């Protein structure tokens, strides 16, 4: 099962008791010519043979209740098949369905036990290796990359109590960028290093910054600085909302901060947006006929399907703007910066269609 971390500590307890129920048994005994040669220690075999050796498709059974049915090559389990083992073990039996190579789970497959434990994903040399999903009997789950039976690379772990970690791992440890969210909604966001909280921020359930950690230690000065930044951001957001409401009500918003706002399909015909900052704004399908966008910053804005006929875009910054299907017929683009603007099926001021892409 997965265990939650202790909050507000600089050293994180590994949140995962790594209980891979990896039940196995020897595929070779003293009489077997080489490891992986299953025929000699099986109680029985029924199936195809070649030169007296199991080869093709068949079924092995062992005296402890284990059995395998599937592809066999030269006496060894190779290829697709089903292996059932662990009848005598608590939590068993367990079933593996997938590919094997010389008696080892290798490739893609699923491993599940009567207890409720399971792993579905990629294997290499009998180990979890590659993309996979592990589910524990308490409902805990890890989805992500594995390396030799360990969490390694990007992954998402959800605990039975509902807390979750999304981010990078290194050999079972939090390592790299990640987010740990507690059951009450509070969270750690930032960099973890060798299972330590390293360079990150702690937020309460309402998203308010509570503390900052720098180099593995809580830093009061950095916390104060970030709190001031957050206060400025919130004030700017409130101002932006007021500007947006004013624009929709009056169609007047000169020099407004409208960064990233959603104006999709808004009716802004004749609106005065002189020198407004619309960086990254969503103007998809917006009706801007005759609008004054002189000097406006539309860098990275989405103008797909926007109607800009007769709009005044003199000196406007359209760098990287998405203008797919936009109508600019009669618009004034004098001195407008269009480098990187994406144009497909875009009606230009002279009525021609621009499919140049950029």
Name the nearest CA neighbour of 128 among 145, 153, 103.
145
> What is the structure's pLDDT at 330?
78
> What is the structure's pLDDT at 39?
52
pTM above 0.75, yes or no: no
Residue ending a domain, among 135, 158, 181, is: 135
Rounded mean pLDDT for each run of 10 residues along the chain, 358 residues in total: 43 36 37 49 87 91 90 91 82 91 92 92 95 94 95 94 95 94 95 92 92 93 94 92 93 93 93 92 90 88 85 81 80 76 83 79
Domain assignment of residue 324, yes or no: yes
Domain assignment of residue 37, yes or no: yes
Range of the structural domain that residue 296 is part of? 240-358
The CATH code of the domain that includes 62 is: 2.20.110
Q: How many independent structural domains does the chain possess?
A: 2
Name the nearest CA neighbour of 45 among 29, 78, 67.
67
What tokens does 86 get? Answer: 């662990």
Domain assignment of residue 95, yes or no: yes
> What is the structure's pLDDT at 341?
81
> What is the structure's pLDDT at 8?
41
Domain assignment of residue 334, yes or no: yes
> What is the structure's pLDDT at 122?
97
Domain identity same for 131 and 245 = no
> What is the structure's pLDDT at 3?
44
CA distances from 53 to 72, 87, 186 (A): 10, 27, 62
Residue ending a domain, among 135, 170, 201, is: 135
CA 276 to chain centre: 35
Contact yes or no for 168/153 (Cβ under 8 A): yes
Domain assignment of residue 62, yes or no: yes
């Amino acid at each position: 099962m997965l265990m939650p971390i202790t909050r507000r500590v600089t050293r994180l307890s590994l949140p995962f008791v790594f209980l891979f129920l990896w039940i196995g048994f020897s595929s070779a005994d003293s009489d077997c010519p080489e490891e992986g040669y299953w025929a000699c220690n099986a109680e029985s075999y029924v199936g195809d043979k070649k030169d007296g050796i199991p080869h093709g498709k068949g079924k092995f059974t062992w005296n402890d209740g284990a059995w395998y049915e599937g592809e066999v090559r030269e006496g060894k389990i190779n290829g697709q098949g089903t292996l059932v083992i662990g009848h005598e073990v608590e939590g068993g039996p367990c079933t593996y369905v997938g590919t094997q190579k010389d008696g080892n789970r290798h490739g893609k497959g699923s491993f599940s036990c009567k207890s409720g434990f399971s792993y579905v994903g990629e294997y290499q040399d009998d180990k979890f290796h590659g993309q996979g999903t592990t589910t524990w009997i308490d409902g805990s789950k890890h989805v992500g990359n594995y390396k030799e039976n360990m969490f390694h690379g990007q992954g998402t772990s959800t605990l039975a109590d509902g807390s979750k970690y999304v981010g990078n791992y290194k050999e079972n440890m939090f390592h790299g960028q990640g987010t740990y969210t507690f059951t009450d909604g509070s969270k750690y966001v930032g960099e973890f290093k060798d299972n330590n909280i390293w360079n990150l921020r702690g937020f309460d359930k309402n998203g308010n910054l509570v503390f900052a950690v720098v180099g593995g230690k809580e830093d009061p000065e950095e916390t104060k600085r970030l709190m001031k930044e957050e206060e400025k951001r919130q004030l700017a957001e409130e101002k932006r909302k007021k500007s947006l409401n004013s624009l929709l009500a009056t169609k007047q918003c000169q020099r407004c901060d409208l960064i990233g706002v959603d104006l999709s399909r808004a009716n802004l015909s004749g609106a005065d947006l002189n020198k407004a900052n619309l960086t990254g704004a969503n103007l998809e399908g917006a009706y801007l006929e005759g609008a004054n966008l002189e000097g406006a910053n539309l860098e990275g804005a989405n103008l797909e399907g926007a109607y800009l006929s007769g709009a005044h875009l003199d000196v406007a910054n359209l760098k990287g703007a998405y203008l797919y299907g936009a109508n600019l017929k009669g618009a004034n683009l004098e001195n407008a910066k269009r480098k990187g603007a994406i144009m497909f099926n875009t009606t230009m001021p002279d009525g021609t269609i621009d499919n140049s892409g950029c």
